[in-house]
Each structure stands twice: as C-alpha cells, then as structure tokens.
Amino acid sequence: MPFCAGCGRQLAGGVFCPYCGRPQEQPVRPPGRARAPGVAPGAALPHRALLTCSIAGALALGAAAAGAFLPWLGRSGPALSGTDRDGWLTFALALAGAAACLLSAILKSRWPFLPALLFATSLLAVGVFDVFDIMRTPGLSAANVGAGLWVTVGAGLFAVVACAAGLALAPESAQEYPGSARAQDSSSFSE
C-alpha cells in the first residue's frame, strides 16, 4: 500500500491524504525502505548474496583446515595424518582463505574474494595432487585415501565455488549496500 509523502502514514488510495490533506500524485515508500538502484521490487538486496558467499566460503575453508588434522592415508596401509604430508600447507591456505572471506563480509566488498579464491584453488590443487600421489603409489589405491584428504578436497571445491560466486554476484559499489558509509552519503535511491 502507498504512503503519504507529507506525513508518512499509510494510504488506502485516493488523490489526497485523509490525515494531512497533501495531494498524492504517486505513492511514496515509508522512510528506511529504499531499494538499491537496479533491484527489482521484492528482490533480495545484493548484500545478502555477498554475506552468503562469505559465510559459505569461510565455513568450507574451516572444514578444509580441520581436514588437515584427519587421516590422509589409512585403511589397509600405514595411517598418516595430513600433518605428516602437505596438511600444514593446506591448513595455512585454508586459514588465509577463511580470513579473506570474513574480510569480505566485514568490508561489504567483493574484492577480498579474489585472494580467497586463489587460496581455495591452491588448497584444492594440493589436495587433488595428494589424492593422485597416493593412487600412483604401488600397492595403494583410492580406497587408501583417508577421510581427511577427502574432506580437504571436497571443502576446497566448495570454497572455490563460493568464492567464485562472491566475485561474480556481489555488486562492485558500496552504494548498493544499505547502511554503508557511501550509501548514507548518497542523496537518494531511485526506483
């Protein structure tokens, strides 16, 4: 329903506001309900996509960091933890990537996703390399790959997707984020 531009009360229709008498040429949104430019009515604001990608990326990279301490080689062969192989490298890459994802949420910017994507891709590459390294070892197969390495690879793949989505979907301008400093400096949001 429309709102009066003069007093802000909800209108049932008509040409004049029944409360203050102001002529109503077009309906006006109530204060605090402005939309970002280019956002269709009823659409979620762009900062939700950024926040979703930030949280998804950080959680996936957190899972990959945990995978570094789980078994990377096990079952019928000697049990090796991820920290006995490249686990410390994947742990460092996961922490750096998760920090970049969280920084993206804090700054409300998509650009921290770029280093996060690089960290996640590197982590995934190390994990995939170690899976193939185990499978190439005589007497070992994919059945010998431990749960920690599969967690690292799966979480790394999910983090790559979340970070790439953050780069692709998040708006470039802070003006599109309600409540940001640049949005408050802006004079108005157009429909």
CA proximity to 94, closest of 126, 124, 70, 64: 64
Total number of domains in the chain: 1
Fill in the amino acid letter for 132: F
Pairing of strands 80-81, 71-73: antiparallel
Q: Euclidean distance between the first and final Cα of the chain, in Å?
A: 16
Residue 180 lies in a domain: no
Tell me the Ramachandran region of residue 21: left when phi exceeds 0, alpha when psi lies from -120 to 50, beta otherwise: left
Distances (CA, A) of 50 to 17, 25, 46, 117, 135: 40, 37, 7, 14, 38
189 in any annotated domain = no
Q: What is the pTM of this model?
A: 0.66
Which residue has better confidence, 29 or 90?
Answer: 90
Judged by DSSP in three states, 140 sits in coil
* Residue 116 within a domain: yes
Residue 28 forms part of a structural domain: no
Structural domain contains residue 10: no
Average pLDDT on 162-190 reads: 57
Q: Is residue 59 part of a domain?
A: yes
Q: Which residues pair with 28 in a beta bridge?
A: 3
Tell me the pLDDT tens digit for each residue of 124-150. Answer: 999 999 999 988 988 888 888 889 999
**b (16+ CB within 10 A) / e for 122-151:** bbbebbeebbeebeeeeebeeebbbebbbb
CB atoms within 10 A of CB 51: 16
Residue 17 lies in a domain: no
Tell me the average pLDDT of the chain: 79
Percent of the chain having pLDDT more than 70?
73
51 is written with which tokens? 């926040």
What is the C-alpha to C-alpha distance for residues 152 and 119, in angstroms, rounded to an integer? Answer: 13
Share of the chain above pLDDT 90, in %: 40
Task: Judge whether 106 lies within some domain.
Answer: yes
What is the extent of the structural domain holding 85? 46-175
147-169 and 46-67 helices, crossing angle to 10°: 160
